[in-house]
Amino acid sequence: MATNKQKTAAAAVLATAIAIPAEGLRQFTYRDVGQGILTSCYGHTGADVKKGIKYSLAQCDAWLTADMKKAIATVDRCHPGLPVEVLAAFSDAVFNMGPTIACSKERSTAARYLYAGRLIDGCNQLPRWSRASVLGVMVTLPGLVKRRAREQELCLRGAV
């Protein structure tokens, strides 16, 4: 049986394999399409992202590792004991969009299903989260459609 540390490491590898191609690497700061906030590297946001800075690959890798660990910890706190693939899929979604999708019973059907132990139903909710606000209008983004499909496929492998 895998320890929690091994499970977290495995989930991080799987989630990162989705996140890297979905986010892409941009070492110069840019504004996120959906939220318009300063972003750099592999989708990192926060007070430490400064306009006009080129970040090193080492910094980008460090942020990705820390951000993914935080996302995994969030999902694991809301739903301890999830299979690795389900944990990884929802961790990538949390890394991308924040904790609502996995943890908010009030705002997420996926979260309600996960809390009820209905993992397959929860996995099948992932594609519904492929929209973002662009200039104040909610639109389906092709990149999010692809990302959610990869998450769903991974999630369903662990949910059965």
Tell whether domain 4-159 is in CATH 1.10.530.40.
yes
Type of residue numbered 59: Q
State mean pLDDT over 38-54: 94
For the range 132-138, what are the long-range contacts, defined as Cβ-Cβ under 8 Å and sequence gap of 24 or more?
Answer: 132/33, 132/34, 132/35, 133/34, 133/35, 134/33, 134/34
On whether the CB atoms of residues 142 and 127 are closer than 8 A, the answer is: no
81-140 residue pLDDT tens: 999 999 999 999 999 999 999 999 999 999 999 999 999 999 999 999 999 888 889 999
How many Cα atoms are found within 13 Å in the side-chain-facing hemisphere of 100?
Answer: 7
Domain coordinates of the chain in residue numbers? 4-159
The mean of the pLDDT values for the chain is: 95
Helices (H), 79-159: 84-97, 100-103, 109-115, 119-123, 142-159
Contact 100, 125 (CB under 8 A): no
Q: Which amino acid is at 132?
A: A
Among 23, 25, 18, CA closest to 33: 23
pTM of the model: 0.94
For residue 40, give the 3-state DSSP assignment. strand
Residues near 130 by Cβ (< 8 Å), separated by ≥ 6?
Answer: 140, 141, 144, 145, 147, 148
Q: What is the per-residue pLDDT for 28?
A: 95
* Residue 58: both structure tokens together: 């080492």
